[in-house]
Structure 1
Amino acid sequence: MAVLTRERPTTDRPPPVPRKATDRWARRAPLLPALLFLIIITQLPFIATLVISFMKWNSLDPGGRGFAGFDNYVNVFTDPDLRSSVVNTVVLTASVVLISLVLGLGLALVLDKKFRGRGLVRTMLIAPFLVVPVAAALIWKHALYNPEYGLLNGILNWLGGPQPDWISSMPMTAVVASLVWQWTPFMMLILLAGLQSRPVEPVEAARIDGASPFQIFRYLTFPHLRQYLELGGLLGSIYIVQNFDAVFTITSGGLGTANLPYMIYQTFYQAHEYGEASAAGVIVVAGSIIIATFALRVVSSLFRDEAKS
């Protein structure tokens, strides 16, 4: 007896036809105007700044303009004022980032819990980050720090305490506090996103096994948030290292609070030393690029982890 067999349909597909170069350019051509615009407004000014940084150029002495080599960069690191501004930049950036991360982590842990009015509280906590930086600095300078009508001295007066001049007595702390107030919501949002992406099963299993909330945070939550803490710290450093508004508005760079962006402004607009100001600007950009490179690596690792899970 003959056995009838049904032929299986072949699933082999013909090999894909390679795309022509014209097809690839047809897809990329609409992006070229945006790419050219980005290059014109970012790269060309930076190249011009890089060229000027190797020149001796003071607008008050047009005849003395010429090639200076690396003298401007040497002046940035040997001039006492510029060197102290570099130190102030590091201290200001590190202080604001670390304090903002700690406070942002605490607020994120609170907002990760369910309670009545959580949406309203979250919106109110995000609000400081949405304030224009100059406006935020003015709020702290006049509404809070003013020794005559500021809120802080008003509270102290009601309690019968002293009436200090906050900016004069603690200038760097005054600048740091205003920046922490503005950047803590940013850190909170990043860490809250990390908390909400945390797997629930290990946490529930740890609770069933009798783990305390501190043990759950130490062994489960904190290791999961490590990359988010790194991301928040790196992104915050990129922006805070370039901060100019708070220093200029609150202290006008005085009382030992001048950071590198403020010294660039002072060197360029007041001393008219275009070469030194450009060299300092190149240093700031180089530092920002280094920090941004680490930030991109952290973001890439986060995406890889999400893809694996």
Structure 2
Amino acid sequence: MTAVTAQAGNLRRAQAQRAARADRHEYPRAERWRRRGPLLPALIFTIVVTQIPFLVTIWYSLHSRNLLRPDSDIFVGLSNYLDIARDSVFRQTALNSVIITLGCVLVAMVLGIVLAILLDRPFRGRGVARTLLITPFLIMPVASSVLWSMAMLNPTYGLFNWTLGLVGIDPVDWTSTYPIVAILMALVWQWTPFMMLLVLAGLQAQPKDVLEAAAMDGAGWWRTFGSITLPQLRRYVELGVLLGIIYVVNTFDQIYLMTAGGPGTASANLPFYIYQRAFLGFDVGQAAAMGVVVVIATIIVASAALRLIFRSFDVKERA
């Protein structure tokens, strides 16, 4: 079996090399550069606005620089990174980032799958229902944070506490007692429509003849969903989880406006803690080092997730 797999891999590599040689033979170098030329301004712009600031951040991370003491700019090497490794608050905020990111993405994906399945069936007013369910994703994070902290979770006149009062439960100060839960509520409400749209696109892309054949064979809804629909949705679910992790890990608005990272640092995540170190503690060097660590960790996670997604594409193509 290993020999057959290796032979198949060699065959694919040989085909790719032949295709590359054919492309070089068909399109001379001037023609290839003429095709790539329109992309160069976008590439240069991306390098200028992303890579140059990142290199400057690395340079700052190797220095001890405090904004209150301009003469304190000295080269300290990896000292800032060693301080991060000993910083218990950094470890706590890193754990909060993992909890908030995974909690939001997983709950939003489950709710998105349920809503997508419901919206995939024809019913009267389906277009209006889709529009209403998509609306939370279109609201600015600042507006949604104010909405949840003031109108929904306020301990005095919030809608949640009013609903709990109907069944005899005392009001709860959500943002103080359960700050991470309060943040997750706002994030899940905002990201569920995004997951729903991705899953709905996957549901509408699955071949209808396969579903009809399963129905003719007597397969029930659960059997059809587990054996046909869910494998079909795998790539869409993986893409939604990847994009959700990349964006949610950078959450700042909800934490800043709903809990301010408190009580203490109980609900602070890494972006908020970096903001505190840079603009409240004025320690630019250590904040830059934290930013470099977060970027590297995000790249590692994103690369691993992309590898899984591309592997699922290759498996489907071979099948």
Q: Which residue does 1:99 correspond to in 2? A: 107
Aligned length: 294
The alpha carbon displacement at 1:153 in A equals 2.1
Aligned to 1:143: 151
CA gap of 1:209–1:32, structure 2 versus 1, over 3 A, is closer
- 1:34-56 C-alpha deviation (Å, 9 max, x unpaired): 32222111111111011111211
What are the ranges of 5 or more consecutive residues in structure 2 without an aligned counterpart?
1-23
Q: Of 268, 293, 298, which residue of structure 1 is paired with 2:278? A: 268
Q: Measured at CA, do residues 20 and 144 of structure 1 come closer, stay the same or move farther in structure 2, by a change above 3 Å?
A: same
Equivalent positions of 1:53-202 (< 5 A) are 53-202=61-210
Alpha-carbon displacement from aligned partner over 1:182-208 (angstroms, at most 9, x marks no partner) = 001111111111111112222212211
From the superposition, tell whether residues 133 and 119 of structure 1 become closer, same or farther in structure 2 (CA, over 3 Å).
same
Match of 1:290 in 2: 300
Q: Note the C-alpha offset of 1:28.
A: 3.2
The residue type paired with residue 69 of structure 2 is D
Distance 1:213 1:18 in 2: 51
Alignment partners' CA distance in 1, 2:120 and 2:297: 34
What residue is the counterpart of 1:24 in the other structure? 32
> What is the CA deviation profile of residues 107-126 of structure 1, one whole-angstrom value per residue up to 9, with x for unaligned ones?
01111111111111011111
* More helix per residue: 2
Q: Could you say what secondary structure the match of 1:97 adopts?
A: helix
Q: Output the CA distance in 1 between the equivalents of 2:40 and 2:213.
A: 53
| Structure 1 runs not aligned, ≥5 long | 1-15
Distance across 1 between alignment mates of 2:149 and 2:296: 31
CA distance in 1, matches of 2:67, 2:82: 20
8 Å Cα contact 1:227-1:298 kept in structure 2: no
Greater CA drift, 169-178 or 51-60 = 51-60
Letter in 2 for 1:133: P
Question: Greater CA deviation, 156-165 or 295-304?
Answer: 295-304
Tell me how far 1:300 sits from its aligned partner: 4.6
Task: Name the structure 1 match of 2:223.
Answer: 215
TM-score when normalising by structure 1: 0.88
2:267 maps to 1:257: yes
With over 3 angstroms needed to count, the CA separation of the structure-2 counterparts of 1:295 and 1:189, relative to structure 1, is farther
Q: How does 1:24-63 map to 2 (within 5 A)?
A: 24-63=32-71
**More off after superposition, 209-218 vs 64-73:** 64-73
RMSD value, Cα:
2.2
Residue 138 of structure 1: how far off its partner (Å) = 0.8
Which AA in structure 1 matches 2:157?
Y
Residue 161 of structure 1 deviates from its aligned partner by 3.5
Q: Counterpart of 2:116 in structure 1: which amino acid?
A: A
CA contact (8 A) 2:105 2:245 kept: yes
Question: In structure 2, do the counterparts of structure 1 residues 183 and 51 end up closer, same or farther at CA, with 3 Å as the change threshold?
Answer: same
SS in 2 for 1:116: coil
C-alpha change, 1:61 and 1:283, in structure 2 (3 Å) is: same
- 1:7 is matched with which residue? none
Larger radius of gyration: 1
1:213-252 alignment runs, 5 A limit: 213-252=221-260
User: In 2, distance between residues paired with 1:28 and 1:249?
Assistant: 44
* Corresponding letter in the other structure for 1:174: A
How far apart are residue 78 of structure 1 and its match?
A: 1.8
How far off is 1:134 after superposition?
Answer: 1.0
The 1-side partners of 2:94 and 2:68 are apart by 26
Q: Which amino acid aligns with 1:198?
A: Q
Q: Percent identity of the aligned residues?
A: 45
What is the aligned partner in structure 1 of residue 9 from structure 2? none
What amino acid is aligned across from residue 188 of structure 1 in structure 2? M
> Within 2, Cα distance between the matches of 1:48 and 1:274?
12
Q: CA deviation at 1:229?
A: 1.3
Secondary structure at the counterpart of residue 66 of structure 2:
coil
Q: Measure the CA separation in 1 of the matches of 2:316 and 2:267.
A: 42
CA contact (8 A) 1:231 1:298 kept: no
Q: Is the 8 A contact 2:206 2:229 kept in 1?
A: yes
Structure 2: distance between partners of 1:95 and 1:31: 38
Q: Secondary structure at the match of 2:213?
A: helix
Q: 1:98–1:19: structure 2 CA closer, same or farther, 3 Å change rule?
A: closer
Normalising by structure 2, report the TM-score.
Answer: 0.85
CA drift of 1:306 comes to 8.2
Structure 1 position 29, deviation (Å): 3.2
